[in-house]
Amino acid sequence: MSRIGKLPVEIPAGVTVTQTGQTLAVKGPKGELSITLVDAVKASIGEDGVSLKPKDDSKRSRAMWGMQRSLVANLVEGVSKGFERNLELEGVGYRAQMQGNDLKLSLGFSHDVIYTPPKGVKIVTPKPTEIVLSGPDKQQLGQVAADIRRFRSPEPYKGKGVRYAGEYIRRKEGKKK
């Protein structure tokens, strides 16, 4: 039995959930998102929230049960509160600034890197070495953060690069004579 899957997803005030077949559409103050559930899991909307159950006792349906419940919970939380991801720039001359809707990164290359965020992701740079990403879709937000980090991943000798806030970079010792 899935401990996560057994729990119903509570629907906060101001959020509506509609079901059409295997598709759940969630609408709230931060936006509208939808998910198509796998065939091994069935959903029902009740007064306590959205409940998910496996269709049968197969291994696949039991494996998908908790994951699908977590995905539905992320949709509900995203449209009600939203998600936020912070990135830090470490290195001499590494800067980030907004240029209209695009993010302009100076990462030690001979050119500046311009990143255009997808629709639904908002980028703010409160400091030149800090990037704050926010949006209702947790998966999309994590992918955007990973794309920005990939431009200059933190290296192990000096720790320079784009890192997640609070990420620990394992350092290596340099050459010795």
Chosen domain end from 61, 80, 99: 80
Same structural domain, 12 and 61: yes
Q: Find the mean pLDDT for residues 11-31.
A: 91
Please count the residues of the chain.
177
Chosen domain end from 80, 107, 126: 80
Same structural domain, 94 and 68: no
Strand arrangement of the beta sheet that strand 122-127 belongs to: 122-127, 130-135, 83-90, 161-164
Same structural domain, 57 and 104: no
CB–CB of 44/18 below 8 Å? Answer: no
pLDDT band at 174 (very low <50, low <70, confident <90, very high): confident
User: What would the 3-class secondary structure string for 88-112 be?
Assistant: EEECCCCEEEEECCEEEEECCCCCC
Chosen domain end from 80, 111, 143: 80
User: What is the value of pTM for the model shown?
Assistant: 0.88
Residue-wise pLDDT for 108-152, tens only, equals 999 999 999 999 999 999 999 999 999 999 999 999 999 999 999
Residue-wise pLDDT for 66-107, tens only, equals 999 999 999 999 999 999 999 999 999 999 999 999 999 999
Domain range holding 144?
83-164
